[in-house]
Structure 1
C-alpha cells in the first residue's frame, strides 16, 4: 500500500515537471520520494525503484532535474545490498543508453561502482570491461591526467588478474603516455608496479626485473613490499634468457646485501659465479613460481628449464675450449641434438661466442679477454671521437668565422643603403633627371616597362621599341613604391639575418657543450649511448652549418656594393627594382609561349618533381625516388620497398617526401632525407588516404593534405603536429607545391579551385577557379602554372591575378598525358611529372620585343 502511494506521488511529480519553474523545489521532492523508496522492503523496493528511474528519464522532466536526481541515486547505490545494487546499476545503464552524452558524469560513476562490485566477486574480466567503456579520451568531459592514469592502470591490473596480459599491455601502454605528466608519487608507483607485472606476464623477464628492482628502493613503499619486489626481481633475473643484460642484473643483485635474506640467494650465487646448476637445486625455487612462469615452451621444456640450460651452457663455455654434443647434452641433462640446437641459437643471437663443427659433432667456444677487449673498444672510440672533433668541429669553426663576416657585410650594406635613401629624400625633384630617349633632355615623367626607359611625356607619345604604344608607369609613383619596397626588403633581410644568427649561436653552444662532455668523460662514460649519439650527430650538425652558410651566401648575393650616394632617382629605382626581383619589369603573359615540341626525358613513372640549388632533378616514383641530371640520367637511386613516393621537395639541405603504401593499404608517411648523402633523417605517420596526395614545405613548416577530412595538417620540420587548416570550400584538396617566398599552393580538383596559403598566418591569400586542377607551380616571377586535367591544358595565372593565359599543347595531348602532378621551370624549360607517362619537358619562349 505504501509503495503504491509513493508510485502515485512519482507520477504526479512527472506531470508537474513541465509546468513547474523551480528546479530546486522539484529536486527536493524527488529526493524525498527516493529516500522513502529506499526504506521499502523487498520485493516492493525493486518495483518502486524501477518505476522511479523510468520516471526520472521521462521526456517531461528537464535535463537539469534528471541529472541532479540521478546523481543522488548514484550516491545511494553503494549503501544497497551488493546483488541488488548490481541489478539497479544495470537497469539505469540500460535506460540511459541512448542519452549517455547527457549523463556522462553519472554513467561514469555507475560504471566505477559496477566494476567495484565485479571485482569483489572476482569477476575480473567483467570489472575491466566495465571500466573500458568510460570515454576517457572521447567524452565531452575533460578528465585530469591523474584520473585517466589511475583508470588505465586499474584496467590493466584487472586484465592481469584474469590472465589476459595482451589486453593488460594495451592499457598500460596508454598509461605510459601519461605517467610523466603527474607528480603524484603514489600513483606513479601504482603504475610502475602494474607495468612490472605486465612485463612479467609477457615473459619479458629482464625488463620486468629492472622495474621490480627500481620499486624495491622506493621509500614510500613499506619494507615488506620492497622485499617482495626484490624477490620478484631475482626470480625474473633467473628466468631471463642468458646474455649480457642478465649478467649485469645478476651482478647488481649479488652485490645487493638485501638479497642474502632471500631463500633463492644460493641460486643467485651459482649463477653469478658461472657455476653449473643441477636439477635438485631448483626444486624449492620452482615451487614459488607463479602459474605464468611455469609455462611450457614450444620444445616441451619450461621457462625455468630453458633459462638454466642456457646458463649451464655459458658456464660450460668458460670451462671447455670445445666439447662434443653428446658430452654437452650429458652436462646439461638433455639429449645432444637439443644441446646443439640451443648452442646454435645462442651463438646466432650473439649471446655466446663460438662456432659449431657439425661434421665432428662439436662446439668450439671463443673466450674473450675482458681487459684487452675493453682497452681496444676504448681506443677505437677515442680515435673516432678525435677524428670527428678534428675533421668536423674545427672546420665548423672556420665556417662560423666566414659566416660571421658575411653577416657583418650584409649589415654594412643595408646600413649604407639606408643612408643613401635618407640623402635621396632631400636631393631635389625627380624631374631634374633627363629623358633617356635619343636626342631628348627633358625631365622624366614616365617609365616604360617594355623598353625599360625613363622618358618624358612628349616621348611617351611616340611608338615603343616594338612599334607599339609605350606601357608607362608614373615616375613619382614608382619612386614612392620603390621606397616602400625598400623598407620591406630591408626589414626582411634583417629578420633573415637575425634568424640565422640565432641558429649560429644555438649550434655554437651545442657543439661547445658536446665537446666539453667528451673532454670531461671517464672511460666508462665514453661508451655510453649519450656520447655515442654525440659522435654520430656531429657530422649532421656540420651539414646544418653548411646549409646556414649557403643561405647567407644566397642572401648576400642579392646585395651589391654600389655607391648609392651618387645615384639619381632613376638609378635608385633600378637598383631596388633588381633587389626586389625586378619589381618594375612587365609580367605580360602574352609574351610567354611554349614551343610545339614535347620531349619525354624519362618514361619511368613520376608523381612529382623538384630541383635542388645545384641543378639536380628529384623524381618521386614507384618504390623510391631518383636524383637525375637534366638529361634524365640517374645520378643516384634511393629505393624504399615500403611503398611509392607521391610527393618530393628540396628544402634547406633536406629532401621531404610523402610515401604511400601499395594498393590495399591507405597508410602514408613523411620521410625526410639528407640531400647530401640521401640517408634517412626522420619520418612520421600521416592520416590514411587511398590515392595520390602531396606535401609542401615553406616557412619551416610541412604542409600535408588530409583529403578525407578535408583539411591540411601542419607539422614542424621534425614531424611535431602544429595545427590543422580548414576551409569551408574544401572538397578534395590533394595537390600541393611551394610558393616562394612564404606560401604554398593547394589545388582542390573536385571544387575546381586553386588556393595560395600564406604560411606566416596560415590563412588563404587568394583563390582561383580552374576546371579540375591537378599539379600547381609558382615560378620566380610569381606566376602560377596549373594543369587542368578536364581541359587537358596548362593554365597560367599572373602574379597579380589580372591576367590568365591557357596553353593547349597538341603534343602533350597526343602523348596520352592526362595528369601532370608536379612542375618546375629552369633554363627556359618547363618540366612536368606526368605520372605513368614519365617526365615531360617543353621549351618556353619569352619574347623581349613582342
Structure 2
C-alpha cells in the first residue's frame, strides 16, 4: 500500500486522479475486507495531507468514498462507522475545503449512531454540520429537517434544555416547511418539550391534537392520547385544566386507557385519595416525578404553625408538596373541596391536604391570586370562604342588553355542559358591553336593515 502511494507521487496530476480512483475501487472490491479500515485510512490521509495531491483530486477521491459508503458497498456496520470517524478526523483540520463531503459523512455517521440508539452522540454529530456557511447553504426546509431531527434525538435522552435551544431554531423555519412528516415530528417535539418543561396544560392540548392525526400509526396515536391524559392530570387545577379534562372525557377513546378513572374523578371535581393515585404514579416518567422545592412562604407559614400549635400531635408536619404529582393532587383536592364546603378552616384544609394549616392557607391564597380558585381568606378567623356561584352570577342575563333577569335553566345532569353554557353567556355579555361602549362613543354605527 505504502509503495503504491509512493509511486503515485511521481505521476502527473491527470494520471494521479485515475490512479487514486483505481486504488479506491480495488480496496472496496476486495473479498477479504479485514484490513479495509486501515487501508482507507492510509489512502485518505495521503490524498488530504500530501501537498503534491491537488485539491481537485482529493475532493474527487473523497466524493467517491462517500458515494460508496452511502451505497452500502461496505456491509459491516462497525467497519463503516470506523471509516467515517477516521475520515472525519483526518479532514477536520481542513474542513473548509471539504465541507460538502464532511456534511454527507456526518449524516451517515448520525444514521449509524441512531440505529445503535446512541441518541445524544448522533445529535452531537448533526450539530457539527455546517448549515449556513461554506460552498453552499442548505435550503430552509433542509435546515428545518436537521433541527427537528436533533431535537428528537436529544429528547430520546431527555436532554430537554439543549433540545429547546434547537427547537427554537426550528420554529423560526417552520413556516417554510412543507413536508408533512417533518411538521408532525416538529409538533410532537413541541408537545414533549412542554411536557419536560412542566407546562402540562400546553403539552396535554398538543398531545391530544396529535392523537387525531390519521397519518400517525394507530398505536402511536393511542400513546399520545395516554400522554395527553397524564399531562392533563398533572396540570395546575383551575378553569383551563377543566376545559382540557372535558375535552378528554368527551373523547370516547379515553375510556379504554388505564388513567381514565382518575381523569374522570378529576373532571367531576371529586377528592382523590392516596391509594387512588398510587397506581397512576407508577406510570409516570422521571421528569413527571421530579422533586420540587418548598417555597419560602410555606416554610414561614409552617414555622408560625409550629410556634402556635407545638403541642398538637394531630396536625400534619408537611410544609408543602414534594413532587409534581403531589402538588397536582393537592391543588385538585383543594379545588374539589370548594365544591363541597362553603367554607373551611385552615386546620381543616390542612388535614384534608395533609399539610400544616399555614401551608394549606398559602396554597389556597396562591390559587386565588392566580384566578384558579374563587374565594376569600379571613386570616383573623383562619377561615377560607369559597365562592362557587360567582361565575354564574356574573354571566346570568347580561347578554343582549337584558340586564339582570331571572332565567330558568334545565337540569341536564351534565355539570360540564352547564359550565360550558355559562362561559358562552359570559362571552356574549362581554361582547355586548364592548359594543355598547363603542356605540356610546360614536365609534360604530348600525344602519337600517333594508327589507
TM range (shorter): 0.7 to 0.9
Q: Which residue of 2 aligns with 1:35?
A: 28
In structure 2, what is the Cα distance between the partners aligned to 1:140 and 1:364? 70
- Per-residue CA shift, 1:599-641, capped at 9, x if unaligned? xxxxxxxxxxxxxxxxxxxxxxxxxxxxxxxxxxxxxxxxxxx
Unaligned runs of 5+ in 2: 295-320, 399-425
In structure 1, what is the Cα distance between the partners aligned to 2:326 and 2:341? 22
In structure 2, what is the Cα distance between the partners aligned to 1:150 and 1:266? 39
Give matches, 1:119-198, under 5 Å.
Answer: 119-198=114-193
- Per-residue CA shift, 1:177-209, capped at 9, x if unaligned? 222222211111111112211111111111111
- Distance 1:181-1:95 versus aligned 2 partners, 3 A rule: same
Contact 1:7 1:48 (8 Å CA) reproduced = no
In structure 1, what is the Cα distance between the partners aligned to 2:271 and 2:376? 21
- Distance 1:227-1:46 versus aligned 2 partners, 3 A rule: closer
Identify which of 64, 70, 75 aligns with 1:72.
Answer: 64
In structure 2, what is the Cα distance between the partners aligned to 1:185 and 1:195? 15
Unaligned runs of 5+ in 1: 1-5, 396-514, 520-850
Identify which of 47, 54, 57 aligns with 1:62.
Answer: 54
- Per-residue CA shift, 1:749-780, capped at 9, x if unaligned? xxxxxxxxxxxxxxxxxxxxxxxxxxxxxxxx
In structure 2, what is the Cα distance between the partners aligned to 1:183 and 1:385? 41
Say whether 1:50 aligns with 2:41. yes
Q: Which residue of 2 aligns with 1:385?
A: 435
In structure 2, what is the Cα distance between the partners aligned to 1:139 and 1:90? 21
Give matches, 1:654-665, under 5 Å.
Answer: none
In structure 1, what is the Cα distance between the partners aligned to 2:442 and 2:76? 75
Count residues with an aligned counterpart.
389
SS at match of 1:177: helix
Give matches, 1:205-354, under 5 Å.
Answer: 205-299=200-294, 301-354=322-375
TM-score w.r.t. the length of structure 2 is 0.79
- Distance 1:200-1:17 versus aligned 2 partners, 3 A rule: farther
Q: Which residue of 1 aligns with 2:404?
A: none
Contact 1:353 1:366 (8 Å CA) reproduced = yes
- Distance 1:122-1:210 versus aligned 2 partners, 3 A rule: same
- Distance 1:90-1:362 versus aligned 2 partners, 3 A rule: same
In structure 2, what is the Cα distance between the partners aligned to 1:255 and 1:89? 53
Contact 1:14 1:55 (8 Å CA) reproduced = no
In structure 1, what is the Cα distance between the partners aligned to 2:100 and 2:326? 51
SS at match of 2:2: helix
In structure 1, what is the Cα distance between the partners aligned to 2:440 and 2:57? 76
In structure 2, what is the Cα distance between the partners aligned to 1:268 and 1:9? 73
Identify which of 86, 101, 106 aligns with 2:81.
Answer: 86
In structure 2, what is the Cα distance between the partners aligned to 1:177 and 1:389? 41
Contact 1:10 1:33 (8 Å CA) reproduced = no
Q: Which residue of 2 aligns with 1:544?
A: none
Bigger Rg, structure 1 or 2: 1
Contact 1:15 1:60 (8 Å CA) reproduced = no
Query: Aligned Cα RMSD in Å?
Result: 2.5
In structure 2, what is the Cα distance between the partners aligned to 1:383 and 1:119? 58
Contact 1:7 1:52 (8 Å CA) reproduced = no
Greater per-residue helix proportion: 2
After TM superposition, give the deviation of residue 80 of structure 1 in Å: 5.1
SS at match of 1:171: helix
Greater per-residue strand proportion: 1
After TM superposition, give the deviation of residue 280 of structure 1 in Å: 1.0
SS at match of 1:60: coil
After TM superposition, give the deviation of residue 230 of structure 1 in Å: 0.8
